[in-house]
Structure 1
Amino acid sequence: MMNKVVFILIFSAVVLSASAQQKKYKQGVKVPCPVCYASGKVERAQIPPPKDFLLKSGENATADIQVDYIGFTPEAKNAFAYAVSIWESIIASEMPIRMKAVWSGSLDDNVLGSCGPETYYSNFKDAPFKDRYYPVAIAEKIAKQELNGASRYDMEANFSKNIDWYYGTDLNCPDTLYDFVSVVLHEIGHGLGFTGFFFVDDNVGGYGFFEYGDATSFDLLVENGLSGRQLVDTSFYENVTNELKRALESFSLFANSPIAAKKNNGANPRLYAPYSFDGGSSVYHLNDATYDNSDNALMTHAVGKAEAIHDPGPITRGIMDDIGWRNIFIRFDPPKDMEVMGPIQYDISVESDYRIDEETLYVIYSTDGFISNIDSLALVDLEDNGIYQATLNPAPGTDSISYYVQVGDVMGRVKTSPALAPKEIHSITFGPDNEDPVLEHAPIPYFLLMGQPMSIKVDASDNLGIDTVYVTYSINGVPQTPFGLTNEYSDTYSGDFTVSNENLKDGDEITYAIFAIDASSAKNNTRLPSGKNTFSYKVESIFDPVVSYTNDFNQSTADFVISDFDVYTATGFENGALHSIHPYLSPGEDNVDIDYFTFLKRPIILKESGTMTYDEVVLVEPGELLSKYGDDEFWDYVIVEGSKTFGESWLPLYDGYDSGSKIAWRSKYNENIVDQVSLSEGSSDLFFNREIDLLNNGNFAAGDTILIRFRLYSDPYASGWGWAIDNLIIQQGLAAETKVLDRGEIMVYPNPFNSSFAIDISGIERLVDIQIEVFDLFGRKVYEVVKQDVFGELKENIDLSDQTGGMFLVKVSENGKTVLTKKLIKN
């Protein structure tokens, strides 16, 4: 059951074993899904689809719900798709909504289905409320960008294959069957956000997931009908208390949803809140006794036989609007501080899914921090261009102005900026300015030569305003022309480096610094990084595709993006390997994580039965016992991923794993932990071999050309040594037989030589590894070089100036096969 599980997980965050972390929060959190019960009774009803659906064709859908069906029969798929198309005509989003649906045989006998958001996000771009969680589908709609990535679902659902279903779409469900379309509509409603974090355990009720106080946009609406207070109002209901439990079991919970109330004759809709809390049903359903057999019956907690409800209903649709599917956005640049007091001009635009009530637009301000002196200015669209304006003329002697903006719509909703006003307010101060601008920038890790300009993005803010932001940079130590950045939105500035891609090549090093000057008379300025330090990164190229690849990492290589990883011989190792940062870091901050990665710059053409093998040491924080990749208690991990889109999106080649996958790794990691950090170090005796079937995960097929990435994920707390990879072999057994070079294609000259000689090899018809060895008269190897993935020709100059004169033997091998041996004389 949903809420009891939540409480157990929260409690376990306090009493974990010494080897695990004591505190764990995540940016995207998961909760068990609400469920839909079979009532077992015949409850005849026929509610047709909404007018939105009947009036719109599939081409005019306002959302795109993409479903991956697992195990479904064709007739179940058809009914499911019909339910999906109804929701697609109701909600609106520019972002695709991805759903996983499983035809399950493991649900309880009286459970028809379950569904919920795959994850939740807070504090994303344009989030209506700070520190409140929104289901990923809503968050992506508002932010207008992918948040959990194209490789993850936005909703996950299970439907019982053991139920006697009616798959028709005509509402004529017989008395012996359950209407499948109705249940799918119900569960998609939960996946789209009709759910939250409330729980009851023993004698307490609460809300949260890993951190008490976490609440969803739905939770913000829930109020007690007896007290008239929000359940998340901590001034009245302290979290995790018996008082909150009584409220959750009061049979008197309502959704304070202005839009739902508007559609319900002014009354807030009643929620299902039985006297005994029902995990999976309480709070996140409409009350059965109130709405059974009505056009609002879809989201009640149980479905009866012969009950065909093909419309979410006006109340549900109103609640969905208020949890984030329809919004009011206040757009304006808050006026900055002033050195010389003058008129304050407000220019505000409003985006709203419902028509704005122009009688509600105000700037509400105060000169004493909203203690007693409070006044307001009406915002008016003077030029009829959608920009609402007001001018405030501060009285002489005013030190500062505090204010917030208020906007309402015709549905009775009121939005403020800041969202929690008047608890949070904007402010303007007057007088001389000596504050430097604030610069924030995530350093560029590398630049991939893919035809796009080399760009940079910076956040620059100042209490008085920014005058100029610019960048200085060098290429391989040679200074280039500085360039300015343009204000993109809010405090974000961006621009392109003033160098053409044609003048860049693989391996070039870019160093740069960022400068900001404010708009004050003093021209306060800031440099990032400070002093004479610079940021730096490398230019990287994607090479031609290959069928196979090998690397023992005993030589430096340009084949991998070297940023978070590097190739070297680490302490405790006998030779080179591909190493992550040692030790890797954790942010130590709630809701923040780090990805360390490198990828092979040689795309691989996948073949049938293709495999990849490598030796590795993995010392990353192990998850709780019995946890697996994807579970909330599966903490840090490493993963191998592929991309068919040149790095735009990545999909697993193999599920993530951690130190718990090998007893020796887990034991080593737990051997020496101080303040949640494992101080144990990796060594060559901890190497284990791993073999990956490149097609087994199902994300790729033979013939695909992919990049391969190695990624180490570090969550907010606890960390360790990291990851080492050696002896990488990709599809080596599938490579076509290579033509052995002819001796005549290899030139060694001059002979005799003085200090050095050259080797020229031509006619290399496909990628090969070439090894050149030089031995002295006594058989001692005095020189060796290995060139990997050579194509066309190779020119190599061999310097033996440190050797005494005499006879030497040169040996040239191709892919391990000796092609030429030749004697040379050094003068």
Structure 2
Amino acid sequence: MRYGFVLMILLTLAGAATAQWKNQLPAIQIKKTQGGAICYHKPENSNLIIPPPAAYEVWKRSASAKTNATVFEVEYVNFSDEAKAAFQKAVDIWSSLIESPVPIRILAVWQPISGSALGGASPGTYIRDFDGAQKVLTWYPVALAEKMTGQELNDIEDPDIFAQFNSSFADWSFRTDGVAITNKTDLVSVVLHEIGHGLGITKAYDASATEGIISDFFSGLHVPYDHFLENNSDVNLVQGFNPPSTTLRAQLTGGELFFKSPLLPKTPIDNRAKIYAPANFQSGSSIAHLDENTYNGTPNALMTPFIGSAEVMHNPGTMVMRMLADMGWVNTQIIHTKIPNTENVSTPYPVVVTLNSDTKNQDGGSYSYNANEVKLNYTTNGTTFTTVSLTATGQPNQFSATIPATGSAVTYGYFISVKDNLDRTIVKPGVFTDDGTTPVQRLLVFEAGPDTKGPFFSHVPVAFVKASDSGFEVEAVVSDNIAVASVFVDYQITKSGVTGSLLTLPMNLVAGTDSTYSQTIPYGGLGLSNGDKIEYRIRATDQANSPNTKSTPAGSPGFYNVNVVSLAPTQDSYTNNFDNTVTASQDFFGSPEFSIRVETGFTNGAIHTNHPYPEGQSFPNNRFEWVYQLRVPVRVKASEATLKFDEVVLIEPGETGSVFPSEDFYDFVVVDGSKDGGVTWIPIANGYDSRDFAPWLTRYNSATAGNNSTAVGDPNLFRTRVMNLQDQFDTEDEVVIRFRLFSDPGAAGWGWAIDNLRIQIDDVPPTILHNHVDYLLSTNNILSLTIQPSDAFGLAEVFVDAKVNNGELETFEIPIQENQSEYTLPITLTGVEAGDKIEYRIRAKDASGNETSLPADGFFQVPIISFGTPVTQYVADFNSANTDFVGNFFSITQPSGFLNSSFHTPHPYPNGFGLTNATSNYVLTLTKPVTVSATNAYMLFSEIALMEYSGTNTNDFVVVEGSKDTRVTWHQLTSPYAANSLSAWKNIYDVGGNGTANTFRSRLLDITGSGDFEAGDNVLFRFRISADAAGNGWGWAMDNLSIQGPVTGVKEALDLFVSVYPNPVNGEVFTVEVKGLSARNGQVQITNLQGQQLINESLNLLEGTTRKEYSTSSWADGIYVVRLSLEDGSTVTKKIVKASY
């Protein structure tokens, strides 16, 4: 439901007031989302005492005053007795000040609130367009709406005001005697303040970073408070500024806003209330309070945004009482039944009004209406009004007048007004003010003249009935511009292809309604079965002088078709790909807006709604649900009770942050289940809309016409959804499934498509967990494989296929044992030696025939090796074949985007499958040990590490390790790292990009830096990836490895680890990046070619990577020299070009 729909209603209703209300259920959740107004603590001691009003003192002493006072009902959550007593004192003060015939319910919660907030409150429900509302299309706080209409409008279980108070605040004063305590904050004052927000001191205005807006919660409409706000130039905010706009934001943050109303006028002296509108907009405080600087320390201080210590304010103040009075808390109710349409054009039309006024004004004085100022204002052209006085009838507070007949057919509009003794004018119906426009008086409208229209219908057709039932209800709203005389339902039953005679039943007015008619069409005992049908139509006649009869549906064939269906036998599973649309349709029944068909743009059959689906406003209550039900019940399994299907959902999205179910969630789709044959239904999972998948929302918003999306779905948008029947049902429950689309007014889109339905179908192959083997020493003749195969529906077979030196494949079957999850297969090798190679794979199959292999393609490679003799250095550029390394998931290759060969993982690298938490280690091991040097113990290589990360954490990571005890223990040469270790890598990873030659970065490692190795140790080195089972990235690439080679002499290598970029500098900033030179101090000098020194500053080199940005905004174009000097005397020099073009 969007704002545009509200405007459409406004333009087409011709002034008629339409009662609508909006409940927030559950209230406390919605209020937290909405936020409400907040009162903050200020630490200073104010030493202010404002005693209770005189009305409260009278209330305390007078039993009759207590009897006549407004009733407050408070539900306390987590309140202590002393906090309750303080709360009750505030309630009693408000009870003595305001009048309402309807009890006001408050939910008060004592709970931690962050920061310096003392509490917050807001109306529990907002209601608009109730009988008596002075502002049309305006959200009234429910307590005010109930006061003005004299009726209970809110659900009795829901609070009218929700208030919360900070239990974490340590300095509360719970005293009720009005004594100010130093360094303590008076709870009575804070409660009195928060109830004021719940009664109506609340706003719909909000602000974004750049614009003034109306909060999304209010769907583009205002609250009463907004209508009284104006700036210091006398421009009303609602009438003078359109949201969203920068000009509105300037008003909301300009510090010059006022509340002007009949009781707070600007002239003859300025009595307007100045509103808190600081330059820094604060959603919980701005606009919804009196100005702090103006009223702090005055009798009107209560409703300022801050309450200090030793500040006791037990009176709202005259200003707040006048604000509330003009919003409706001092009121005269105009009770009147609208003149109905009539065929009479010759005699006058009586207008009878009863007035019900409060007894006291905002100051506690006498209040009443002026009996000489009760007026009827009518028009026949919408522009020229005739005003006549209503005169007393002799009945208490009753007045009447007549509108003269013209003798011909005409449409009349009228409104009633009355002045009170405060010189205010109250009207019925109310006034509407759209943003940026002047107020418009709305009218009550009736037509006089011959009735030739006939009744009109609002009816949701019954699409299907169950053969096992005995009848079905037909219900319709039947209205007429004069009155309805009779309503009938005609029906005929077709059994086994033979249609019976037409039968008729009267439809009866449903008790408690004025236009809803109902009747049950019986068919029990007729032996109907699946495929039979019942047809019906609704026929109505009005009370015109010449009666008009109409029926629905109109036109040919003139009947609604109701399919008789029966459930099929229960099955343990169900699957349908809908490719055979004829047979698939036999398994489903439901609303005609659903069907199984091959939609344009799709290659095969699927369930589709109508495209686009209808909006809800043409149906009763302006909303409707379409359903499509599977005839086949499914017996719920104990495990893997999954419901899966592929879908496209282009459904109107709800408001940002709205949750299912709520008024702001708007349209949705949902899958329901029933275990009683369809009598009662429950969602299997929460409903959802286009927001559930980003490509859906993008497509929905890609094309619009008015409020509707015109974007079209296609097969590329299909996404699989998985639900668990066990979330709502128990094992052995026999559940029927239905798909449901809910639509409200205002906006719609393409709709819903469903394909490949699978209920408790085992289409998932087994899972194999295994720590793969990368090599086997020539001294070992046993290849031992540990395997954890599993399947939710049970394993059938597990095999290991192996071969030696690409010879004949040999298969080993692993017998499946009950209650065993891990198996070890030792394969004895004979006659193998270093240089030979074993290949193996693992296969598993489940009872449904689903099969999986590990690895997914090919075989694990297990070379037979012997580690080489230690060397003093190792250098390789990987531009040719290299047999010095062993390890699966690494290979020397030259992918696209690279200039030469280097070691690469697969791109992307595979998810883990290891025995521990399904995490695998992909390891590349150098088979030549290196003897650690006493003077050059460094390793240097270039790399790209686009590994999965989350926030500041590494999910997957890479690490370089060494072992000096023949692989018993491994020590890290550096901390593990992933894509987030370098901004250039992170930026590529975040967009799902690929590595290229330009993204190589050099890494220099100090072999002895960790203390785990020392000169003379013979160390094996390995490069390891840790990969979990969820999520991955492009992977790892390594090139130009030098372990203690000539290039790693520190002074000679420094140039490789200092980067200056971008170069040339086209903007105003460049970065100096230093990698791998940990725990050193440096000095950066930058000069131009004339030798002028521009920068000379120290640079603390952190472990890992150090980056420092330098501004070139004041530099001329040209060449500059960047020199990094280290404390050991070594230097690195770089040149950089500044170019503005």
Scaled to the shorter chain, the TM-score interval is 0.5 to 0.7
CA pair 514-138 structure 1, distance change in 2 beyond 3 A: farther
The correspondence of residues 325-364 of structure 1 with structure 2, limited to 5 A, is 328-336=333-341, 338=343, 340-350=345-355, 356-364=369-377
Q: Is 1:456 the counterpart of 2:475 in the alignment?
A: yes
Deviations 1:684-734 (A, max 9, x none): 984332237748xxxx999xxx9999754556435344265955679xxxx
Report the CA distance between 1:196 and its aligned residue.
1.8
CA pair 550-524 structure 1, distance change in 2 beyond 3 A: same
CA pair 314-670 structure 1, distance change in 2 beyond 3 A: closer
Q: Is 1:420 the counterpart of 2:459 in the alignment?
A: no
CA pair 357-614 structure 1, distance change in 2 beyond 3 A: farther
Report the CA distance between 1:182 and its aligned residue.
3.5
CA pair 207-672 structure 1, distance change in 2 beyond 3 A: closer
**Cross-structure match for 2:118:** 112
User: 5+ unaligned residues in a row in structure 2: which ranges?
Assistant: 4-21, 25-29, 360-367, 433-439, 495-500, 577-582, 762-1141
User: 5+ unaligned residues in a row in structure 1: which ranges?
Assistant: 1-6, 8-25, 543-547, 731-827
CA pair 539-250 structure 1, distance change in 2 beyond 3 A: farther
Contact 2:110 2:164 in 1 (8 A): yes
**Cross-structure match for 2:308:** 304
**Cross-structure match for 1:378:** 390
The amino acid of 2:609's aligned partner reads I
CA pair 297-380 structure 1, distance change in 2 beyond 3 A: same
Find 1:619's aligned residue among 640, 648, 652: 648
State the distance in 2 between where 1:569 and 1:186 align.
61
Report the CA distance between 1:632 and its aligned residue.
10
Contact 1:332 1:349 in 2 (8 A): no
SS of alignment partner, residue 687 of structure 1: strand
**Cross-structure match for 2:237:** 231
The amino acid of 2:310's aligned partner reads A
Q: Is 1:443 the counterpart of 2:495 in the alignment?
A: no
The correspondence of residues 84-233 of structure 1 with structure 2, limited to 5 A, is 89=95, 92=100, 101=109, 103-105=111-113, 107=114, 109-117=115-123, 120=126, 122-123=128-129, 127-135=133-141, 159-166=165-172, 168=174, 170=176, 171-172=178-179, 174-199=181-206, 209=216, 214-224=221-231, 227=234, 230-233=236-239
Bigger CA radius of gyration: 2
State the distance in 2 between where 1:144 and 1:581 align.
42
**Cross-structure match for 1:587:** 615
Report the CA distance between 1:273 and its aligned residue.
3.7
The alignment of Structure 1 onto Structure 2 pairs a total of residues equal to 676
Contact 1:203 1:242 in 2 (8 A): no
Contact 1:206 1:244 in 2 (8 A): yes
Report the CA distance between 1:76 and its aligned residue.
9.3
CA pair 272-79 structure 1, distance change in 2 beyond 3 A: farther
State the TM-score, normalized to the length of structure 2.
0.47
Report the CA distance between 1:503 and its aligned residue.
8.8
Q: Is 1:40 the counterpart of 2:43 in the alignment?
A: yes
Deviations 1:556-605 (A, max 9, x none): 9999994489797988999999x67354626398997655568999999x
Report the CA distance between 1:219 and its aligned residue.
1.2
The amino acid of 1:456's aligned partner reads E
State the distance in 1 between where 2:94 and 2:566 align.
42
SS of alignment partner, residue 190 of structure 1: helix
The amino acid of 2:273's aligned partner reads R
Identity %: 21
Report the CA distance between 1:460 and its aligned residue.
1.8
Contact 1:341 1:430 in 2 (8 A): no
The amino acid of 1:359's aligned partner reads N
CA pair 686-650 structure 1, distance change in 2 beyond 3 A: closer
Q: Is 1:390 the counterpart of 2:393 in the alignment?
A: no
Deviations 1:251-276 (A, max 9, x none): 45124165x89xxx999661424463
Report the CA distance between 1:652 and its aligned residue.
7.8
**Cross-structure match for 2:752:** 722
The correspondence of residues 786-801 of structure 1 with structure 2, limited to 5 A, is none
State the TM-score, normalized to the length of structure 1.
0.61
Contact 1:617 1:682 in 2 (8 A): no
The amino acid of 1:233's aligned partner reads Q
CA pair 682-506 structure 1, distance change in 2 beyond 3 A: farther
CA pair 500-589 structure 1, distance change in 2 beyond 3 A: closer
The correspondence of residues 775-786 of structure 1 with structure 2, limited to 5 A, is none
**Cross-structure match for 2:290:** 286
**Cross-structure match for 2:506:** 483
Find 2:720's aligned residue among 660, 664, 687: 687
Q: Is 1:494 the counterpart of 2:516 in the alignment?
A: yes
Report the CA distance between 1:436 and its aligned residue.
1.0
Contact 2:211 2:247 in 1 (8 A): yes
SS of alignment partner, residue 197 of structure 2: helix
Contact 1:618 1:658 in 2 (8 A): no
SS of alignment partner, residue 372 of structure 2: strand
Contact 1:515 1:526 in 2 (8 A): yes
SS of alignment partner, residue 218 of structure 1: helix
State the distance in 2 between where 1:321 and 1:249 align.
27
SS of alignment partner, residue 620 of structure 1: strand
State the distance in 1 between where 2:101 and 2:407 align.
49
State the distance in 2 between where 1:679 and 1:412 align.
58
The amino acid of 1:34's aligned partner reads A
State the distance in 1 between where 2:563 and 2:627 align.
15
SS of alignment partner, residue 392 of structure 2: coil
**Cross-structure match for 1:406:** 417
Contact 1:95 1:146 in 2 (8 A): no
CA pair 692-351 structure 1, distance change in 2 beyond 3 A: farther
SS of alignment partner, residue 112 of structure 1: strand
State the distance in 2 between where 1:191 and 1:456 align.
40
State the distance in 1 between where 2:181 and 2:566 align.
64
Report the CA distance between 1:497 and its aligned residue.
1.8
CA pair 515-624 structure 1, distance change in 2 beyond 3 A: closer
State the distance in 2 between where 1:98 and 1:701 align.
39
The amino acid of 1:114's aligned partner reads G
SS of alignment partner, residue 747 of structure 2: coil
Find 1:530's aligned residue among 547, 554, 558: 554
The amino acid of 1:523's aligned partner reads P
Find 2:659's aligned residue among 629, 637, 647: 629
RCO higher in structure (CA 8 A, sep ≥6): 1
SS of alignment partner, residue 497 of structure 1: strand
**Cross-structure match for 2:378:** 365
The amino acid of 1:134's aligned partner reads Y
State the distance in 2 between where 1:151 and 1:691 align.
33
Report the CA distance between 1:683 and its aligned residue.
10
The amino acid of 2:574's aligned partner reads D
SS of alignment partner, residue 232 of structure 1: helix
State the distance in 1 between where 2:191 and 2:469 align.
43
The amino acid of 2:377's aligned partner reads I
CA pair 34-540 structure 1, distance change in 2 beyond 3 A: farther
Report the CA distance between 1:416 and its aligned residue.
2.4
Contact 1:83 1:182 in 2 (8 A): no
The amino acid of 2:305's aligned partner reads H
CA pair 256-191 structure 1, distance change in 2 beyond 3 A: same
**Cross-structure match for 1:256:** 261
The amino acid of 2:555's aligned partner reads G
State the distance in 2 between where 1:204 and 1:667 align.
24
Deviations 1:411-430 (A, max 9, x none): 55433233239744456676
The correspondence of residues 518-557 of structure 1 with structure 2, limited to 5 A, is 518-532=542-556, 533-535=558-560, 552=574
State the distance in 2 between where 1:501 and 1:310 align.
69
Report the CA distance between 1:351 and its aligned residue.
5.1
State the distance in 1 between where 2:742 and 2:393 align.
50
**Cross-structure match for 2:903:** none
State the distance in 1 between where 2:691 and 2:127 align.
28
SS of alignment partner, residue 219 of structure 1: helix
The amino acid of 2:346's aligned partner reads M
